[in-house]
Amino acid sequence: MISKIVKSGLTRRTFLKSTAVTALSAGLPGASRAAGSTIRIGFLAPLTGAVAAWGKPGLDGCQIWAERVNAAGGIKLGDGSHEIEFVSYDNEYDPAKARTGATKLIREDGVSFIMMLGGDTWPGVQPVADKTGMLFSTLLPSDLSPDTSTLIAPAEVHPIYNVTGVEWLAENKPELKTAVMCAQDDALGLPSVATYLAAFEAAGIEMLDAPLLFDPATTDFAPVVTRLISKDPDIVCLDTCYSDYVHPIAEQLFQQGFKGQIISCTADFYDQMIAKTSEEFMEGFVFQFPDFDDPALNGSNINFTDPNGFYAEYNRRHPGQWGAVSWEYASIMDLWKAAAEKAGSASPDAVAAAMKDGKGKHAFGDADWWGTELFGIDNALVGDWPVVAIEQGKARIKDFRSIPDWYAKHGDLLVKHMQAYDQMWDQRS
């Protein structure tokens, strides 16, 4: 088979053909797509290591999603109903392992769609995506570029939605006039820094210092926090720090007596942060990811199926592990399922075309495919995003804000700061 492929030169067509034959010869059910057969979905994310908190809870959420969909009769395509099965590969947030995982999922497991966290791992996978035409999703739209035609960012337009938190803060707590910010110096932290800078500038909040970028290997945050609060800011912004950083930074802010406002992209496992600090200290902490038992998610605008039931089931199986990504991958599957049923097929090309035909059913309301200016391609689904604050020890949605509306008013600021940090799609090396 290999010699046949290499003689003819590998194209998308020969690649997919060989993959199907290989999968069939291995007796894999996902390859034949006979009515009633199982459709396999790839989950290629870090399940171990420092970034596992943004992979593992997502896989747990997907398993619940699959059980619920299968119990309701599966996915209905042109040739009948199919059950869904997830096949995972732990890429350890390493591009080389991500490439190996993508190869396995496509060429051996016969998956129809692959969900990724993205970031550092996407460039390792991109050649595989280019060769095979497989449809991939990322949580990090900074992976998007005109070259990534088979990559979509349908759940999270990180970090652009962070503007909604700052905008809400400026409107509801106008007494807050000054801010400082810290972030890990990596592919996740830098575009978020640019976004928060734009949001603060748009809100008229003064930055007292340049963002403090710390090395991702940092473990002692006492000096970071000491320097941060030395200028007595009203707001400390934790950017998009991993939970391994958010927790010790919050703890240090508490220990060093900070009394002001904290804003962060995430506050995963915030109950543990409260336990390490105090309920009073964490009161009013603003971030962007709700618990799905929030009453505000029962509105008619919400497209996520039964968010309260999903949250209850998740917490029953994985108590204390609900995080930012617990629902996101599952929400991508809602979108994928709707598109596959619309197309009547699970083939990557058909699903992608159906998905981008008209408005997208984003978890937090109908949204538009957007992003040419920032990402060079309209493959990010953008609409409303919630602003969440901790009140009496519990995360509560305070408001839904429109990202496109903010961008229409302040897009030039975002572009300016993104350019300053070399984060525009045409600046990425």
Partner 1 sequence: MPKFLIWTAALAALIALPHGLSFSQQEILVFLTINVLLVASYRLLTLTGEWSLGHVVIMGVGAYSSALLTKKLGVYVPVSMLLGGVIAALIAVLLSFPLFRMKGFYFLIGSFAAGEIIRLLWKRFRDPFGGAKGIKGIDPMPDFSAGFYQFDFFEPASYYYFAGAVVAVCLWILWRIEKSPVGLTFHAVHWQDKLAQASGVNVRAYRTLAFAIASGFAGISGALLAHYVGTINPNAFDIDLMVYVLTWAIVGGTATFYGPILGCVVLTVINEIVLRELGLEQMRPLIYGAIMILSILFLPNGLESIVQKFTQRRAAGGAPERRPAE
Is 30 or 124 the residue whose CB approaches partner 1 more closely?
124
**Which of 30, 101, 133, 383 lies at the binding interface for partner 1 (CB under 8 A)?**
101
Is 216 a residue that touches partner 1 (CB under 8 A)? yes
User: Whole-angstrom Cα distance, residue 225 to residue 184?
Assistant: 13
Task: Read off the amino acid at residue 132.
Answer: T
Q: Quick one: residue 419, left, alpha or beta (phi over 0 = left, psi -120 to 50 = alpha)?
A: alpha
CB of residue 174 to partner 1, shortest distance in Å: 35
Q: Checking DSSP bridges between strand 178-184 and strand 84-90, what pairing results, if any? A: unpaired
**Which of 40, 107, 337, 398 lies at the binding interface for partner 1 (CB under 8 A)?**
107
Is 107 or 398 the residue whose CB approaches partner 1 more closely?
107
Is 19 or 345 the residue whose CB approaches partner 1 more closely?
19
**Which of 83, 90, 291, 293 lies at the binding interface for partner 1 (CB under 8 A)?**
90
Is 92 or 156 the residue whose CB approaches partner 1 more closely?
92
Is 77 or 265 the residue whose CB approaches partner 1 more closely?
265
Is 268 a residue that touches partner 1 (CB under 8 A)? no
User: Whole-angstrom Cα distance, residue 164 to residue 182?
Assistant: 19
Give, as ranges, the residues between 4 and 63 that touch partner 1 (CB under 8 A).
Answer: 5-7, 9-10, 22, 47-49, 56
User: Whole-angstrom Cα distance, residue 128 to residue 268?
Assistant: 32
Asked whether the beta carbons of 270 and 395 are under 8 A apart, the reply is: yes
Is 85 a residue that touches partner 1 (CB under 8 A)? no
Residue showing tokens 């979509």: 152
CB of residue 97 to partner 1, shortest distance in Å: 8
- Count of chain residues binding partner 1 (CB under 8 A): 42
Cα–Cα distances in Å, from 227 out to 46, 74, 196, 199, 208? 32, 54, 19, 22, 11
**Which of 356, 394, 396, 428 lies at the binding interface for partner 1 (CB under 8 A)?**
428
CB of residue 100 to partner 1, shortest distance in Å: 4
CB of residue 177 to partner 1, shortest distance in Å: 31
**Which of 85, 108, 251, 306 lies at the binding interface for partner 1 (CB under 8 A)?**
108
CB of residue 422 to partner 1, shortest distance in Å: 5
CB of residue 106 to partner 1, shortest distance in Å: 9
CB of residue 103 to partner 1, shortest distance in Å: 5
Is 276 a residue that touches partner 1 (CB under 8 A)? no
Is 392 a residue that touches partner 1 (CB under 8 A)? no
Q: Checking DSSP bridges between strand 113-116 and strand 39-45, what pairing results, if any? A: parallel
Task: Look at residues 328, 361, 327, 366 and name the one whose alpha carbon lies nearest to residue 342.
Answer: 361
Per-residue contact string for residues 165-204; x = within reach of partner 1 by CB under 8 A: --------------------xxx-xx--------------
Is 244 a residue that touches partner 1 (CB under 8 A)? no
User: Whole-angstrom Cα distance, residue 367 to residue 334?
Assistant: 14
Is 419 a residue that touches partner 1 (CB under 8 A)? no
**Which of 81, 123, 341, 373 lies at the binding interface for partner 1 (CB under 8 A)?**
123
Chain contacts with partner 1 (rule: CB under 8 A): 2, 5-7, 9-10, 22, 47-49, 56, 88-90, 93-96, 99-101, 103-104, 107-108, 120, 123-124, 126-127, 131, 185-187, 189-190, 215-217, 422, 428-429
